[in-house]
Amino acid sequence: MVNRAPIERNLDTLRSVAVLTVFLAHLELAVNHGVRWFWGMDMWTVGRAGVLMFFVHTSLVLMLSMERMQHVGSSMVWRFYVRRLFRIYPLSILCCVLLSVFAIPRNVLGATFVWNWRLFASNLLLIQNITGDKLLTDPLWSLPYEVQMYLALPLIFLALRSTRRAFVLAFLSGAAVLGGWRVPLFEFVPCFMAGICAFMLLRVRRALFPWWCWPAVLLLVLIPYCLYDPSRVTPRKSWTFCVFLSVMVPFFGDCLSPPIAWVSHMIARYSYGIYLCHYPLMWIFYRRLATLPGGVRHALYAASIVVLPIVCYHFIEAPLIKLGIRISEAGHSETKTTKT
């Protein structure tokens, strides 16, 4: 059994830092017209670091979710797939449709709008990394890797229920590294495996460090990643970053400051909307409306990047998350009735 001592607030902090890292890196690119270097850091590398944090966070949180679901019946795998389907796809589909309707380019760096039915379908299904099609918007690049990892996570979870879980974890981690080294499609599997390793470490969790060290440590891990050979992002560099991050997750006390916990929770809750909306909104306010005074554009963008993710969450994400839960529960109920 995983030690469920409070850790949710620290995971909110991790997700908040991840989305803000991506957001600030892209904002710097937009405001400075594509100048990639800032304080010796390549903004593309900074943005990549934020996405890697997402990968670690995602696999850890989903393993914890399955650990809770296993106590409510044998339909855990069904429940997991249905809930992830309704979590990830609705907002990404809406994003693809709106980008297509309004012909919004994939980024703010001078890209032109490109569209065809094949490109649209692959972005809609989140299989661009398999089909090799271009992105409708740059932040969509990471979602196919997440969706494809969803297919494996329940199987990994079940495998780790073995009494020889340490051996299973070592074997899976080695296979992930070997596959990621040889096959481009599997490049980020070791990053997700790092989150799974953090999940296993929670079994022996000890709060060795106070909660206020956690955000500082995230920065201490982030800065070397961004400064070391900053213009190159290699698999080995990314995997090392994720491993360091995952090893530290279980050993910090959970946040004891209600204001900080609340802010982190709010950013984490609306992070998916922030992630998908921030680039199109940047194009609107920093390219399409470039004739407006700078202060006006900054204010409008700040307001929109706060309001739009909130609207997306409460009118699209939350209702469809609940629908996914109802459908998965209904399937489980029907199974129980049949057996009875």
Q: What is the pLDDT of residue 2?
A: 52
Give the whole-angstrom CA distance, residue 148 versus residue 179: 14
Residue 112 is encoded by which pair of tokens? 């032109």
Q: pTM of the predicted model, to two decimals?
A: 0.93
Question: Cβ(82)–Cβ(50) under 8 Å?
Answer: no
Give the whole-angstrom CA distance, residue 15 versus residue 47: 14
Tens of each residue's pLDDT in the chain, 340 residues:
555 446 889 999 999 999 999 999 999 988 887 778 887 888 999 999 999 999 999 999 999 999 888 655 558 888 999 999 999 999 999 999 999 999 999 988 878 999 999 999 999 999 999 999 999 999 999 999 999 999 999 999 999 988 889 999 999 999 999 999 999 999 999 999 999 999 999 887 777 888 899 999 998 899 999 988 888 889 999 999 999 999 998 889 888 889 999 999 999 999 999 999 999 999 999 999 989 998 999 999 999 999 999 999 999 999 999 999 999 888 555 544 434 3
> Could you tell me how far CA 285 lies from the centroid of its own chain?
25
Residue 272 is encoded by which pair of tokens? 């998916």
DSSP 71-137: GG-S-HHHHHHHHHHHHHHHHHHHHHHHHHHTT--S-SSSPPP---HHHHHHHHHT-HHHH-PPPSS
> Could you tell me how far CA 5 lies from the centroid of its own chain?
23
Residue 3 is encoded by which pair of tokens? 């030690």
Q: What is the pLDDT of residue 24?
A: 94
